[in-house]
Structure 1
Amino acid sequence: MTRVDVAIVGAGFAGIGMAMALRRAGIDDVVLLERAPSVGGTWRDNTYPGIACDVPSHLYGFAAHPNPSWSGTYARGDEIRAYLEHVVDTEGLRDRIRLNTAMRGARWDAQRGAWLLDTAIASGPAGQVTARALVLACGRLTEPAIPQLAGLETFPGPMFHSARWDHDAPLAGRRVGVVGTGASAIQIVPELARTAAHVTLFQRTPAWIVPRGGDVYSDTDRDSFAAHPEALEALRADLYAEGEARFASRSGDSAAAAEAEAIARAHLESQVPDPALRALLTPDYAFGCKRVLLSDDFYPAVASDAVTLVPSPLDRVDGPTIVAADGSRHVIDALVLATGFASTRQPYADLVVGEEGQTLAAHWSGGMTSFASTVVAGFPNLFVLNGPNASLGHSSSVLMIEEQAGYTARVLRRHPGRVLRVDPAAERAYTDEIARAAASTRWMTGGCRNWYVDERSGRLTLLWPGTVDAFRARLARADGSEFLPEPALTSTFEGRPA
């Protein structure tokens, strides 16, 4: 058995950022459990052709680790993964990370005042970790959503989700079907169109797409960034300000949204000359209701002879024939499911059992709730990063991770040895606060079905309905009153490795 002060589950941006924040707070008795054989999170798992970030690279990183070596305005997926490996080495976190170690269950032990974690090791016996505090940094885009289609199992060719790309699948010169037109698909389709015999793209709902633009950085640019860190800091500040300004158009400010929508419509018109095809690619919901995408090559690919757009979801699969809901039939050789993730129902929630024997999934049965988007009533000394209302629709998610990690580190530093129980009233008040702020946004009123809103409750549970500045200010106002002032809250747990 291993005993530590803090156990962190996940070694992507959130887990690494959390370990960094704890170390800066003087808390170094930490272990990071990572089920995969390497760090990187979503940037390790997603390796599909064309994968890149749609947030400017110099904003998509830790503030303490600016990277002068990005290849361009938008970083490739492999670059981001390499960046995280570099941060781990620079911070000296290798000896804190247990790779190939999955959390199979976690339960709160009231007698010990600690979390008991059951783990499974890929090449060894199972083990247990006892931790005074548990941080779930598992990510919100970890488990692919596979559509429930009649006959899907009868498809004879290669079939895989975009997040589990099969690089051995023979796609060149083959007829490839792609399901979905979201953030992954718009990067995948242009790449496949260059090599496949033909691409058939199944679209349930079109997306608003704006120009991507961006530059490729030269060696001179990168040398300049390295030589002048103050210039890199100023660039990050500019990108941050641009992101904050984007919140207005994404959330529903009428003038800002109209201006952004006009840009998207002009982009579509300039790249798709066929009016009938343009109509199929034009959303019928408000700009900002669903995730706004960035691409300069998706529309030209769809408008080319290499791609056929089917403006219909799938209905069933009959061997190599894909039948769409509009009745059309399409024979293909390989099928790529770019169908997103289980975002509002986090898979790890079934594994975590709180103080009253309730799982986190049961607590969240009506949609995720929390205080400060980080701590949850009924689950003492538990902190969730990238969980309830901690995502953004307008800027870098890393900014939110750093704020949550900072809040967690402050709480643990200020209350050493204490069992921290969230006041249910504080959680309810925060949930109501979120609901009021979200009520007038396009995410709630824009006439679309999006992955930000939990269909069970109709609440916005994934996005923070405000700016990063507002989130930082909200967490700064948390003064400890969110925890119950119970007597005898001191834990007897001794957090040292055994």
Structure 2
Amino acid sequence: MGTPSVLIVGSGFGGLAMAIELRRAGFTDVTVLEKADTLGGVWRDNTYPGSGCDIPSPLYSFSFAPNPDWPRRYSRQPDILAYLRAVADRYGVTGLVRFGTEVTSASFDADRGRWVVDTSSGETFEATVLVPAVGQLSRPALPAIPGRDTFAGRGFHSAEWDHDCELTGKRVGVIGTGASAIQFVPEVQRQAGTLTVFQRSAPYIMAKRDNPYRPWQRWLFRHLPLTRLIGRLRIWLLAEYATYAMTRHRWLATPFEWRTRQLRRRHIADAGLRRKLVPDYPMGCKRILFTNDYLPALAQPNVHVETAPITEITPGGVRTADGTEHELDVLIYGTGFATHDFLGPLKIRGLGGRELSEAWAGGARAYLGMTIPGFPNLFCMYGPNTNLGAGSIVYMLERQARYIRRMAEHLGRPGVSYVDVRPEVERRYDSEVQRRLAASVWASCASWYREESGRVSANWPGLVSEYHRRTREPDLADYRTVSA
């Protein structure tokens, strides 16, 4: 049996999981194409103050590369990036990465059973298998607000933080109250003269049971691995419970809703402000946010939470629907990412030259979140309907890497040119996923999980243990195998 060539696009958690899985299985012709100069994906790019993960590190890490030396339960961006680089070095995949290589398009050559990949530099790559691992949270999204380009002060997205911008004593505005904003707002509040937070909808806030690991705990993690595994299992089980509440029995979320109300009462003394911070949608419909310092920051005297809709951005600041112009020196966009355009600006052409954008005109969809009819030998990492409302995406990425590796092994058999998932298999799967999602909490409000059409294209509808079971062994009957 031969081992086919594999091209991976992206060097974040997904791309590295895939490269390591292949190398551990003996694949030798593996290349990772990375547009940046270093690896790390979102943990390389998101360097805003307070940047960190809201999943505890024992679970937000590779199962095959546990780290007994995490400095704290919820690790910060520098520590996660250092972990990724150390793992890449340890498993010998750093040398597989072609840095400064931005993929612009890819087309499938059916006669040769190979993907031809073009880059911005004009260099072309070819491989039997193409694995886009660009993620759902890698392309910053700026809001379509009139006058955005007229602002005369400093303006930037949180994922492209301007570290040269001095905030001390400045009039700072923040648009957005999502997962990034709740981390950097407390940091900005400590520096800014005034801080105006423009809130479209209030998030559900849960306490973050964070703490530095003590030397004796790290000793236990290193010398008694069972202690580390028990901690990982406990977090995993809690995430499964939360997912069950969001997808099957919403009443199970009631204790969490009580807790969010308790936190608002504890940290927000002003009744008017507290009313502004009450979410107007079911818990879990949008991402639940974990933080200890966001609510206390909003209660500080130099902070104003503005809930009137923004009508335009002016040279001097932001104008809201009540006619008020909020004068600002700095405007920070905490407005998230382009999550529905899964493969971003990549132009991908499959059989017959059909473009992926055409196939996904009604919303992104893929069998098991990985394979698309008419696009042979292409396997997405973190593709449609594989995001989680609770739990660690790293768990999902490892299962996808295992599945793709086994499909690549099939492609290495003599005489096999390519595999193409059967359209009826993908349709049946997508119908099941969308039917289940329609009964979930994620279908009950507008969020980045859901497209404007109402289709939930981001999230997996079940427990991660189900995804593990369904991706354990590929069923080759799901695919059309074409001989060379």
- Fold match (TM-score > 0.5): yes
Tell me which residue corresponds to 1:191: 187
User: How far off its partner does 1:173 sit?
Assistant: 1.5
Question: Given the alignment of the two structures, is residue 320 of structure 1 paired with residue 316 of structure 2, yes or no?
Answer: yes
User: How far off its partner does 1:328 sit?
Assistant: 2.2
Matched residue SS, 1:356: helix
Tell me which residue corresponds to 1:19: 19
Matched residue SS, 1:287: coil
Question: Given the alignment of the two structures, is residue 35 of structure 1 paired with residue 38 of structure 2, yes or no?
Answer: no
Which whole-Å CA distance do the structure 2 matches of 1:39 and 1:398 have between them? 16
The alignment's C-alpha RMSD in Å is: 1.5
CA contact (8 A) 2:115 2:129 kept: yes
**Count of equivalent residues:** 479
Gaps of 5+ in 1: 492-498
Question: Given the alignment of the two structures, is residue 425 of structure 1 paired with residue 424 of structure 2, yes or no?
Answer: yes
User: How far off its partner does 1:254 sit?
Assistant: 3.0
The correspondence of residues 22-171 of structure 1 with structure 2, limited to 5 A, is 22-121=22-121, 126-171=122-167
Which whole-Å CA distance do the structure 1 matches of 2:324 and 2:29 have between them? 59
Of the three residues 298, 302, 306, the one matched with 2:294 is: 298
Which whole-Å CA distance do the structure 1 matches of 2:472 and 2:193 have between them? 55
Which whole-Å CA distance do the structure 1 matches of 2:483 and 2:278 have between them? 58
Tell me which residue corresponds to 2:478: 482
Of the three residues 220, 224, 229, the one matched with 1:228 is: 224
Of the three residues 422, 446, 449, the one matched with 2:446 is: 449
User: How far off its partner does 1:387 sit?
Assistant: 1.0
Matched residue SS, 2:331: strand
Which whole-Å CA distance do the structure 1 matches of 2:293 and 2:135 have between them? 29
Matched residue SS, 1:383: coil
User: How far off its partner does 1:472 sit?
Assistant: 0.9
User: How far off its partner does 1:347 sit?
Assistant: 4.6
Of the three residues 343, 347, 351, the one matched with 2:347 is: 351
Question: Given the alignment of the two structures, is residue 374 of structure 1 paired with residue 374 of structure 2, yes or no?
Answer: no
Normalising by structure 2, what TM-score? 0.96
CA contact (8 A) 1:12 1:39 kept: yes
Of the three residues 178, 181, 185, the one matched with 1:182 is: 178
Which whole-Å CA distance do the structure 2 matches of 1:189 and 1:252 have between them? 34
User: How far off its partner does 1:94 sit?
Assistant: 2.0
Which whole-Å CA distance do the structure 1 matches of 2:295 and 2:401 have between them? 39
1:222-266 deviation digits (Å, cap 9, x = unpaired):
233222223212221222122212213333523212221111111
Matched residue SS, 2:362: coil
Matched residue SS, 1:95: helix
Which whole-Å CA distance do the structure 1 matches of 2:24 and 2:12 have between them? 18
CA contact (8 A) 2:373 2:420 kept: yes
Compared CA separation, residues 279 and 351, structure 1 to 2 (3 A): same
CA contact (8 A) 1:350 1:359 kept: no
CA contact (8 A) 2:194 2:302 kept: yes
CA contact (8 A) 1:371 1:482 kept: no
CA contact (8 A) 1:251 1:465 kept: yes
Question: Given the alignment of the two structures, is residue 218 of structure 1 paired with residue 217 of structure 2, yes or no?
Answer: no
Which whole-Å CA distance do the structure 1 matches of 2:277 and 2:428 have between them? 41
Tell me which residue corresponds to 1:463: 459
User: How far off its partner does 1:91 sit?
Assistant: 0.3
CA contact (8 A) 1:250 1:394 kept: no
1:98-121 deviation digits (Å, cap 9, x = unpaired):
011111110011121100001234
Of the three residues 221, 237, 262, the one matched with 1:266 is: 262
Which whole-Å CA distance do the structure 2 matches of 1:100 and 1:230 have between them? 41
Tell me which residue corresponds to 1:342: 338
User: How far off its partner does 1:320 sit?
Assistant: 1.4
1:444-478 deviation digits (Å, cap 9, x = unpaired):
1x3x211111223x221100011110111122364
Normalising by structure 1, what TM-score? 0.93
Compared CA separation, residues 382 and 477, structure 1 to 2 (3 A): same
User: How far off its partner does 1:306 sit?
Assistant: 2.0
Larger CA deviation: 311-320 vs 398-407: 311-320
CA contact (8 A) 2:317 2:328 kept: yes
User: How far off its partner does 1:395 sit?
Assistant: 0.3
User: How far off its partner does 1:312 sit?
Assistant: 2.8
Which whole-Å CA distance do the structure 2 matches of 1:152 and 1:94 have between them? 40
Tell me which residue corresponds to 1:494: none
1:72-113 deviation digits (Å, cap 9, x = unpaired):
110001110110000110001122110111111100111211
Larger CA deviation: 143-152 vs 396-405: 143-152
Compared CA separation, residues 273 and 338, structure 1 to 2 (3 A): same
CA contact (8 A) 2:242 2:253 kept: no
1:279-326 deviation digits (Å, cap 9, x = unpaired):
111011111111111111111111111210001332112211210233
CA contact (8 A) 1:377 1:427 kept: yes
Tell me which residue corresponds to 1:496: none
Gaps of 5+ in 2: none
Of the three residues 276, 282, 293, the one matched with 1:280 is: 276
